[in-house]
């Protein structure tokens, strides 16, 4: 039995990414501490996720076609589905998405905060009207730096080599 919840821990320009699978579906991606040892994909489905992430870091305009296990309220799932429609290199404000879904910007932020599949469900593409906005529930620090990096990576449209 696998002692870790991760079906893979892959190298990325952002540090190790833990991939959690359930019933062949991608359930979660976690940003892990830099010292976390890498784990080769445990099955073909985890290998597909690894390849998709590697390709994203090389070619940020990639469109993901992974099978996802979305665990959340119907509202959260509506928000996450809308996030997947935002093209790489583009951003949408919390307010704009809130108007589209007839809700409040705060509700959009809360749905983004509960997103367990970052990068694939690109909550980093949601920004404030006058600022970058938070990421994973943080408005500064490591997660904010990750959001800034992802936005820059996508707008420069030039891939980044994997560590």
Each residue's pLDDT tens digit, 29-54:
999 999 999 999 999 999 999 999 99
Which tokens hold the place of 27?
Answer: 């359930």
Maximal CA-CA distance, the chain: 49
Each residue's pLDDT tens digit, 98-148:
999 999 999 999 999 999 999 999 999 999 888 777 677 666 667 889 999
Known catalytic residues?
123
What pairs with residue 19 in β-bridges?
8, 29
Fold of 74-156: Arc Repressor Mutant, subunit A (1.10.10)
Q: Give pTM, 2 decimals.
A: 0.89
Domain regions of the chain by residue span: 8-58, 74-156
Q: Judging by DSSP bridges, how do beta strands 126-127 and 17-22 pair with one another?
A: unpaired
């Amino acid at each position: 039995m696998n002692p870790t919840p991760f079906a893979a821990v892959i190298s990325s320009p952002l540090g190790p990414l833990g991939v959690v699978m359930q019933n062949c579906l991608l359930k979660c991606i976690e940003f892990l501490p830099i010292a976390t040892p890498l784990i080769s994909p445990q099955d073909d489905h985890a290998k597909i996720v690894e390849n998709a992430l590697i390709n994203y870091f090389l070619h940020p305009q990639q469109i993901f076609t992974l099978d996802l296990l979305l665990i959340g309220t119907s509202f959260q799932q509506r928000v996450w589905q809308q996030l997947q429609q935002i093209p790489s290199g583009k951003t949408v404000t919390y307010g704009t998405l809130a108007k589209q879904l007839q809700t409040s910007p705060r509700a959009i932020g809360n749905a983004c905060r509960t997103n367990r599949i970052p990068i694939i469900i690109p909550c980093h593409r949601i920004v404030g009207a006058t600022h970058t906005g938070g990421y994973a529930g943080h408005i500064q620090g490591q997660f904010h730096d990750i959001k800034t990096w992802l936005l820059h990576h996508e707008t420069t449209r030039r891939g980044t080599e994997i560590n």
